[in-house]
């Protein structure tokens, strides 16, 4: 155990001695399509005028201690998967809080991946109004193009987001939500 602590301390000290990329931040919104299933059954509105869509919000903040542009980030975000028709709506919200990575293989192309804890917010559904979700699991993967040169720019890309939760009530043990969204984000990297 003592050797492992010494090795970790040496690696941390060496990483600070290597020229670093610096800080990273991005924030924005995305729109697209979503899918939600409860207990393996797809949720849909039985209406010919139903609209099904997903909205994604979030931000990332992180740092790269490396010489190459790989940033270790904290990702806080979520998706809202919603069904609307002329009479009612159903809305599922899933959050992700966890670590991730952002990599720039070129100065304009960004690849991202995050995974972490998730919880669901489904208070507008009558059967689940007083039901909370247990802590679940969520992840996302993205690819984007960065417009602008220098330290800041506009990211435009595609993201896949998936969240898995369980409810603490009998009869509705699991929920899975996912979305594919086209997003726009402001990004900064030093």
Query: What does the pLDDT read at residue 134?
Result: 72
Query: What does the pLDDT read at residue 175?
Result: 80
Residue 11 lies in a domain: no
Query: What does the pLDDT read at residue 166?
Result: 78
Residue 2 lies in a domain: no
Is there a contact between 131 and 159 (Cβ–Cβ < 8 Å)?
Answer: no
Taking only the tens place, the pLDDT of each residue in 114-163 is 999 998 776 666 555 555 567 889 999 999 999 987 788 999 999 999 99
Is there a contact between 106 and 69 (Cβ–Cβ < 8 Å)?
Answer: no
Query: What does the pLDDT read at residue 19?
Result: 57
Report the candidate in 101, 102, 183, 186 with the shortest Cα–Cα distance to residue 148. 186
Is there a contact between 32 and 53 (Cβ–Cβ < 8 Å)?
Answer: yes
Query: What does the pLDDT read at residue 48?
Result: 60
Query: What does the pLDDT read at residue 65?
Result: 86
Residue 3 lies in a domain: no
Partner residues linked to 158 by β-bridges: 143, 182
Residue 35 lies in a domain: yes
The whole-angstrom separation of Cα 29 and Cα 80 is: 11
Domain with 109, as residue range(s), is: 20-189
Segments of the chain with pLDDT less than 70: 1, 4, 7-20, 44-50, 85-86, 122-133, 167-172
Residue 168 lies in a domain: yes
Residue 111 lies in a domain: yes
Residue 9 lies in a domain: no
Query: What does the pLDDT read at residue 180?
Result: 96
Residue 67 lies in a domain: yes
Domain count of the fold of the chain: 1
Query: What does the pLDDT read at residue 139?
Result: 97
The whole-angstrom separation of Cα 129 and Cα 136 is: 19
The CATH number covering residue 128 comes to 2.40.160.20
């Amino acid at each position: 155990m003592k050797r492992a602590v010494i090795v970790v301390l040496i690696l941390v000290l060496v990483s600070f001695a290597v020229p670093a990329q610096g800080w990273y931040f991005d924030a924005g919104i995305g729109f697209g399509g979503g899918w939600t299933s409860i207990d393996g059954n797809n949720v849909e509105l039985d209406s010919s005028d139903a609209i099904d869509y997903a909205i994604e919000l979030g931000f990332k903040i992180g740092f790269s201690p490396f010489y190459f542009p790989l940033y270790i980030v904290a990702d806080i975000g979520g998706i809202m998967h919603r069904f609307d028709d002329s009479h009612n709506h159903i809305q599922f919200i899933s959050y992700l809080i966890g670590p991730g990575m952002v990599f720039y293989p070129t100065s304009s192309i960004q690849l991202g991946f995050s995974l972490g804890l998730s919880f669901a917010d489904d208070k507008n559904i009558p059967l689940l109004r007083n039901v909370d979700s247990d802590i679940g699991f969520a992840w996302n993967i993205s690819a984007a193009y960065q417009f602008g040169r220098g330290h800041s720019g506009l990211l435009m890309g595609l993201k896949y987001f998936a969240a898995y939760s369980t409810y603490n009530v009998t009869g509705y043990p699991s929920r899975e939500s996912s979305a594919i969204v086209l997003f726009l984000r402001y990004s900064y990297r030093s």
